[in-house]
Amino acid sequence: MAGLGSMDELNSISPYVASNYQVIRVDFRGHGKSLLGEQSLSYLQYQKDIQALLNHLDVGQYSIFGFIDGGIVAYRLAAREPDRVNCLVTLGAQWRLKPNDPSIELLSALNKDDWLSQFANEVAYYEENNPEPNFSKLLHTVKDVWLDTTASGYPDIAVETIKCPTLVMRGDNDFLFSLDEAVALKTRISNCSFANIPLTAHSSHQESPKLVGEILNQFLQKYTN
């Protein structure tokens, strides 16, 4: 799951794990085919929604992969439920938002026209598939999530409580999740591997699906079998 995206964005790597695992994919509130509702969004709310879904499906233990916002929620879940999360894999997922982070200016200035110019197909999918589409409202709401520096936002130092095997991935040219921040995160998680995906930017799983898919499968096979 990605911010403003849908579960279908993971189609490129799903085949690499689908034959070995039960795969549960999720659209966050307001995203894809999920209703936005009237409740405020936050990474904490996303976390609670995932926990409620897994409890409803009677899933005791699980491994989790998250892209961008999905990865941020995955950090929160692994820190919150250490006995349930077998292993954790993230891609392009920040773990904190420092006051001088360059992404703040970028995200604050983002508007609907900017998003449409880069992700017209994704917005068209949302408009066609969401039961109550309102992309302008969704964008405004999600921007608040991205810029949230309170306890309901990024996990920050809580990542230090993550104990499960963890793989942090980023594209070598990722403009949001810097190499320095990825390395800093690796030092804070006790059992953490790191993969810098060459020749890719923010969406490595779409730019290099075979490489990312095989790394994901190899990691899961090592720690879940």
Span 174-212, pLDDT tens digits: 999 999 999 999 999 999 999 999 999 999 999 999 999
Can you give the C-alpha Rg of the chain in angstroms? 16
pLDDT at 39: 87
Q: What is the mean pLDDT of residues 70-79?
A: 98
Could you name the CATH architecture of 7-224? 3-Layer(aba) Sandwich (3.40)
Q: pLDDT tens digit string along 118-158?
A: 899 999 999 999 999 999 999 999 999 999 999 999 999 99
| Predicted confidence (pLDDT) at residue 86 exceeds the cutoff of 70 | yes
Q: Is the pLDDT of residue 2 over 70?
A: no
What average pLDDT does this structure show over 94-104? 93
Note the pLDDT of residue 103: 87
Q: What is the pLDDT of residues 163-174, one digit of tens each?
A: 999 999 999 999
Q: Are 2 and 70 in contact, with CB atoms under 8 Å apart?
A: yes
Beta strand 166-171 with 85-91 is parallel
- Give Cα separations from 154 to 27, 69, 117, 126, 225 (angstroms): 19, 10, 28, 25, 31
Domain ranges of the chain: 7-224
- At position 145, the amino acid (one-letter code) is V
* Cα–Cα distance, 25 to 52 (Å, whole number): 14
Express each pLDDT in 104-123 by its tens digit. Answer: 998 899 999 999 998 999 99
**Model pLDDT, residue 1:** 55
The model's pLDDT over 34-69, given as tens digits with 9 standing for 90+, comes to: 999 988 999 999 999 999 999 999 999 999 999 999
* pLDDT for the residue 181: 97
Q: What is the pLDDT of residue 225?
A: 73
Sorted by sequence, the CB contacts under 8 Å of residue 170 that are 6+ apart come out as: 91, 92, 177, 179, 182, 195, 196, 197, 204
pTM for this prediction:
0.96
